[in-house]
Amino acid sequence: MNVLAGGPVIPNFGSGSSCEQTNGWWCTDWLSAHWGDTLQPALVQHVELSLIAVGIGFAFSLVLALAGYRFRLLDPPIGVVADFLYTIPSLALFQLLVPLTGLTVTTVEIALVSYTLLILYRNIVAGLSGVPADALEAARGMGFTRLQTFVRVELPLAVPAIVAGLRIAVVSTISIATVAAFVIPQGLGRPIFIALNQDLFKTEILAAGGLAIALALVADGLLVLAQRALTPWSRA
Amino acid sequence: MIVADQFQPSTFVDAFRFIGDHGHLLLQKTGEHLELSLASLGIALVLALPLGLWLGHLRRGLFVALGVSSVGRALPSLVLIAFGLTVLGVGFWNNTAALTILAIPSILTNAYFGIAGVDRDVVEAARGMGLSERQILLRVELPLGLPLVLAGIRIATIFVLATATIAAIAGGGGLGEIIVNQASYGLEGVVGASFCVSALTLLAALLLGLVARAASPRHLSDT
Amino acid sequence: MPGDAAELVFDEATKRYGDGPPAVDRLSLTVPAGEICVLVGPSGGGKTTALKLVNRLIPLTSGDIRIDGRSIQEQNVTELRRGIGYVIQNVGLFPHQTVEANIGTVPRLYGRDRRWIHTRALELLELVGLDASYAKRYPSSLSGGERQRVGLARALAADPPLMLMDEPFGAIDPIVRARLQDEFLRLQQEVRKTVVFVTHDVDEAIKLGDRIAILRQGGRLAQYDTPETILGEPADEFVAEFVGADRALKALALRTLADLRLDDTTGEGPRAPSETTLRDALALLIAEHADRLVVTDGDGAPVGSVTRDDLLA
């Protein structure tokens, strides 16, 4: 079952070491030999794909959230669309987009961005809505303009919810990006697919899969630290 | 696998025709899809729900609840399916195991926070009046924490239904089998099957949403 | 189901957390059956802790507590709690159940059926001054004062011999609080329960308590006496300071014009009914710059008078 878009890069078992020939669980010689040409590029591509997706997704969601927060009427429809996008299985969304935008990075990015919309939109709106009304009133009473209130009061207080949403979005994006290998030969999904096609080459699967998980956990951890750093008042 | 140049706007129409023509096949595949999904959800519920509820009642194990949730999110579905296949070989259990692992975090974490989040005064009053710990959980905390608990189950359900499509590459069958097999079923088949998955997921989401709505009547939304 | 009032005995009851100083330090006192004992003190004085020792929401470190001679340690904890009425500041009504269902919580644990509970709920609603229509309503639609009344009804439902009340009127506004206090006293006349009542409000303690226990920082008993004695003869400087420099005035609030011997003359001057406390009467005389107060009976007819000196005698 060849499900890969693009040919395999790894030569067959036959010419490999004894570990590879017996399909051992963890062939260190394969790992050191192919870190540079397989795993590292895949990792880098994966990070790139995810960052671009979250970056664009965040920008979009911010604009939409500001609109939905400012003009409450817009909130339900935007929410419904984002909800709907989320229920489409990633695999299916990728495939639906391919005829429109081809086997390109664009396709993948559109899909990844769509998935971040729900989480980020909802969290940003919730964060802004959760700002205590007394704080807002005090600001107005002190003479802040609308913009000043937003920048100095609402936004900082909404940061925890926003960062929490970012955290989920980043980790989900890293996770879904593994499926991108269905469409383009990029990301950590690719080595996994290749290995699946080669009678389940265990080392490669474990290595690529492990890297994906590790990447997600590291990103999560970093964002937790960022969250703590940005909200010193909640550490009390 | 995906041959893009075959696509025209008429493909959507073809997709519906595909659904019409292959009703029997789609029904069968939907059955497989549901079987896998429900089995995984069932096991996940049995494992995670009681644990989450009880930890929430004891208000202990917050670290566990949060940790499970964080780690759970970091597990790419594809990776788990691949691991499942690698470790357990092709069959029923490799995919079921993978999907169960994916379903557990939402169920566990939401059950915990749903129960732990119940107003402490209400719980203290119940305890002071002489309800046993079990009675407190079942008669007071669970009814009040139900919205969140059900939300977790709903998220897990959607997630499992969607991820079961990927399981096709590991022999999981289901609608995913059509989606990854453009060569056999044509692009209209792929689109058609995708519609089915979407519809299934939306339906499940709606149903569980209704259950959640029924479980949180208006008199509970506080002053 | 229980009934009648019980005698409560604290016997060197102590609660210590870890190695630190005790939260409750060798508390010993006896609350006779049918009396209201008010626990007062500064925050951190251990009064709420002492209360929760009784129904074992907080376990004893040493010492004992006995209800009608039986140690609380000997009884099964849930059975113990079912026999004690427990009212807390925020009430803790179950928001997902009607007022009636809330009231029926403990009777239901005892196996009473719905019909019995319905009757009992209506009975109790009347007792706490709420209309029967409240039975089918939900807590979220009630005001603070109404919730507190339902909380009281719920605590009384199984007719417990002992009631524990932890600042029940603390979250209520002053006007409603005064009314609830009066009604509580009226209720107590009818049902005569043994009550342990925690408050940080000295005036409330004086108004409600048959006896007052003052706990100082560190959970040690400073004085345990009737309100008159505490106001008239504070045991030490701490108690004197706690009840306030105006304790003499507070003491005046304990008696009414009906307690005095009136002069036969009436005539001019401000009027006050005989139930007026001496303190309020004095305040009235001061406000009116008057010397003599005319006392009236229930129908408003003058029955005698008192002078300022009579009040202060």
Shortest distance, CA B122 to any CA of chain A (angstroms): 25
Q: Is residue C291 part of a domain?
A: yes
Residue C70 maps to a domain: yes
Taking CB atoms and an 8 Å cutoff, what residues of chain C touch B217? 96
Residue C287: inside a domain? yes
User: What CATH number has the domain bearing residue C289?
Assistant: 3.10.580.10
What mean pLDDT comes out for the span A206-232? 86
Could you please state the CATH topology (level 3) that the domain comprising B26-215 is classified under: MetI-like fold (1.10.3720)
Contacts of A90 in chain B (CB under 8 A): 77, 162, 166
CATH number of A125's domain: 1.10.3720.10
Q: What is the pLDDT of residues A130-172, one digit of tens each?
A: 777 777 877 777 777 778 878 878 888 888 788 888 888 898 8
Average pLDDT, chain C: 89
Residues C172 and C35 in one domain: yes
Do C168 and C25 belong to one domain? yes
- Radius of gyration, alpha carbons of chain B: 21
Task: Give yes or no: residues C78 and C23 share one domain.
Answer: yes
Q: Which residue has the higher pLDDT, B131 or A200?
A: B131
Mean pLDDT of chain A: 77
Between C55 and B148, the more confident residue is C55
pLDDT at A48 over 60: yes
Is there a single domain that holds both residue C264 and residue C211? no
What average pLDDT score do residues C68-79 get? Answer: 92
C140-185: pLDDT as tens digits: 899 988 999 999 999 999 899 999 999 999 888 888 888 889 889 9
Tell me the average pLDDT across B119-123.
91
| pLDDT (0 to 100) of residue A205 | 81
- A220-234, B80-94, C81-95: which is most confident: C81-95
Please report the pLDDT score of residue C87 as a whole number.
92
Statement: residue A14 has pLDDT above 60: no
In a domain, C140, yes or no: no
For residues C33 and C54, membership in a common domain is answered with yes
d(CA C67, CA C83): 10
User: Do C48 and C173 sit in the same domain of this protein?
Assistant: yes
Q: Which among B79, B86, B190 has CB closest to A213?
A: B79
All residues at 6 or more sequence positions from C266 whose CB lies less than 8 Å from its CB, including other chains: C294, C302, C303, C304, C305
Q: Is residue A166 part of a domain?
A: yes
For residue A140, give how far its alpha carbon lies from the nearest alpha carbon of chain B (Å): 26
Q: Could you say which of C251, C276, C302 is where a domain stops?
A: C251
Total domains, chain C:
2
| Confidence band, pLDDT 50/70/90 cuts, at residue A23 | low
Residue C313's SS3 state is coil
Q: Do C180 and C299 lie in a common domain?
A: no
What tokens were used for B92? 């029923």
Q: Using CB atoms, which residue from C81, C95, C140 is nearest to B128?
A: C81
C-alpha A215/C-alpha A218 separation (Å) is 5
Q: Name every chain A residue with its beta carbon within 8 A of the beta carbon of B161.
A: 89
CA C115 – CA C77 distance, rounded (Å): 28
Residue A40 lies in a domain: yes
Q: Say what the pTM is.
A: 0.76
**Domain carrying residue C276:** 257-312
Strand extents, DSSP E, C158-301: 162-166, 194-198, 211-216, 220-225, 271-273, 292-296
Residue B222 has pLDDT above 50, yes or no: no
Domain that holds residue A195: 32-235
- Assigned domain for C154 exists: no
Residue C79: list chain B partners with CB under 8 A: 130
Q: Which of B2, B74, B86 sits opposite A95 (nearest CB)?
A: B2
The answer to whether residue A19 scores a pLDDT higher than 90 is: no
The domains of chain B are located at 26-215
DSSP characters over chain A: ----SS---SPPGGGS-HHHHTT-S--HHHHHHHIIIIIHHHHHHHHHHHHHHHHHHHHHHHHHHHHHHHSGGGHHHHHHHHHHHHHS-HHHHHHHHHHHH-SSHHHHHHHHHHHHHHHHHHHHHHHHHTS-HHHHHHHHHHT--HHHHIIIIIHHHHHHHHHHHHHHHHHHHHHHGGGGGGTSS-STHHHHHHHHHTT--HHHHHHHHHHHHHHHHHHHHHHHHHHHHH-GGGG-
> Residue C199: what pLDDT?
93
The segment with the largest mean pLDDT, out of B8-12, B153-157, B193-197, is: B153-157
Residue C3 pLDDT grade (very low, low, confident, very high; cuts 50, 70, 90): low
DSSP string, B123-136: HHHHHHHT--HHHI
pLDDT at residue A7, as a whole number: 37
Nearest-Cα residue of chain B relative to residue C95: B220
Q: Residue A1 pLDDT > 50, yes or no?
A: no
From A13-22, B102-111, B116-125, C277-286, the region with the lowest mean pLDDT: A13-22
Q: Give the tokens for residue B79.
A: 């990776």
C182 and C290 both lie in a single domain = no
- pLDDT recorded at residue C160: 92
Q: Do B125 and C140 touch (CB under 8 A)?
A: no
Mean pLDDT over the full length of chain B: 83
User: Does A12 reside within a domain?
Assistant: no
What subunits touch chain C, counting only 3 or more CB pairs under 8 A?
B
Least confident of A186-200, B127-141, C47-61, C157-171: A186-200
C with B: touching (≥3 Cβ pairs within 8 Å): yes
| DSSP codes of every residue in A69-104 | HHSGGGHHHHHHHHHHHHHS-HHHHHHHHHHHH-SS
pLDDT of residue B223: 35
Q: Write down which residue in C217, C234, C251 finishes a domain.
A: C251
- Mean pLDDT for C107-123 is 92
pLDDT band with cut points at 50, 70 and 90 for residue A57: very high
Residue pLDDT, tens place only, A177-196 = 888 887 788 888 888 877 77
Provide the number of structural domains found in chain A. 1
The verdict on C66 and C164 lying in the same domain is: yes
